[in-house]
A and B are shown apart, each in its own frame.
Chain A
Amino acid sequence: MSKRKLQHAHLPAGECVSQLQELLRQRLCHQQLPDRPEGLEAQHKHLLELLKRTSVHGESNSVLIVGPRGAGKTMLLKCVLRDLQEEKEAEKNLLQVHLNGLLQTDDRIALKEITRQLHLENVVGDKVFGSFAENLTFLLEALKKGDRSSSRPVLFVLDEFDLFAAHKNQTLLYNLLDVSQSAQAPVAVVGVTCRLDVLELLEKRVKSRFSHRQIHLLSSPTFAEYLGRVRTRLGLPDHFPDGRFAADWNASVETLCEDKSVEEVLRRHFNSSKDFRSLHMLLMLCLSRVTVAKPCIRPADLLEASRLSFADAKANMLHGLSILELCLIIAMKHLNEVYEGEPFNLQMVHNEFKKFLQRKSNSMYNFEQPVILKAFEHLQQLEMIRPVDSSSAKTQREYQLMRLMLDHSQIMEALQKYPQCPTEVKQWAMSVFG
């Protein structure tokens, strides 16, 4: 390492690594848009054309961008908007309103937000708005006054579009889409959603007013493409300050991708999901292990990252339980096997546990009922078990029916790794007949 450091004295290695970290983190945390959306060129062109027509010709439009989570919907939209801003005509004209179904949970909030983003409240001074009804008429009035050729086009981006469909009467959607279908101020309504059945959510009148343009982001890259994407995500650009470091890094990435074990890990990820976001998570974990002492990603890093990301959350939690709680879980597992998934209560579990104790009384201490109850409640708090909904609060806690929230495989896996697990307990867990 010190050799390399000497060879490329013009930038210290620490500087190089921190620059690398910064660059790649920006890329992986979605702060930086790619130059062009990979694999989405057709959709990009379609959307760009559409928005251009709105901003340049004043043509009203409505469109939905549909794709599974992590497919790059927002990225696509942002790319399009960035490209649109480069056009002089569009840049000066287009007004943008960004709404999110998770933030604007009802039409009243949404209307206020629209008014705020359009800077319409300035017209009436600093006066805070009155009722919802007035807001609506106010906004509709404003949009109605515009016409195709003279007023600035407004782009409405509705993120989580499906949530807007849950608003009362779908008033906002109806009105936005109605404006887009009538000779008022030109608007483009862009909905972003991951639900494929989004059109079925729309009320028939709203649906009729929607133009039925849908841009589906349903690409299925092959594994080779997936690998290529990993390379481009990790590769350093030419303009990296230290050319030598960049070349070394890129070469290390190349060797990493050719590694068999790495390919296996990546294929497993690919099989699990094709979206970018999970890949980015994986690469971030790798990247965080890059240090000055080790300025490259080793296959072992990737394996470790993969292990982390595939780890079972519930099984991990089991490791933190006390022996008593673990025993209770095992008792529940046996009860589940005996009664085929029927719910149980504390007494049943305790009895099962007592049976075990009677057989192997030498190693385990018989706990008092209150201690058992406490352990039981702790399990409930950890949501290892949950009460059956139908049972009312009236029943005593000991008799409240519960269900186990764990799969048997999780319990077995946890037992394997549980530190200093008594052999009897393990055997009890493995035994078929409790």
Chain B
Amino acid sequence: MAVCIAVIAKENYPLYIRSTPTEDELKFHYMVHTSLDVVDEKISAMGKALVDQRELYLGLLYPTEDYKVYGYVTNSKVKFVMVVDSSNTALRDNEICSMFRKLHNSYTDVMCNPFYNPGDRIQSRAFDNMVTSMMIQVC
């Protein structure tokens, strides 16, 4: 379903990046990296007052020829970025949004783990499985 899922820390370094096992890992890294600028712009475009009640889901960040990049920012400025194949038209905004919510919940679980140091790379197996399920889900 998704071809790449990334969790980016507040300070814009990756906490977690998984992409489909192709040779193009670099490309996905690049795509996620670039999308951070769009995320930043989207957040800074909103006024200070609006930040509190904003929608966490940012929607489509930018489309490329082959992929669509979606973004989601938690209140603690952790970013989730999902790259989806453009050909996959079945995927609506709603579904993307719910996928992000699932991701967010799973991320919250990771953070609740007392043995996880915030800011470390995510190495939780539960989170991994969740991401895997989101990536291989047949559309």
Is A bound to B?
no
Binding site for A on B (CB under 8 A): none
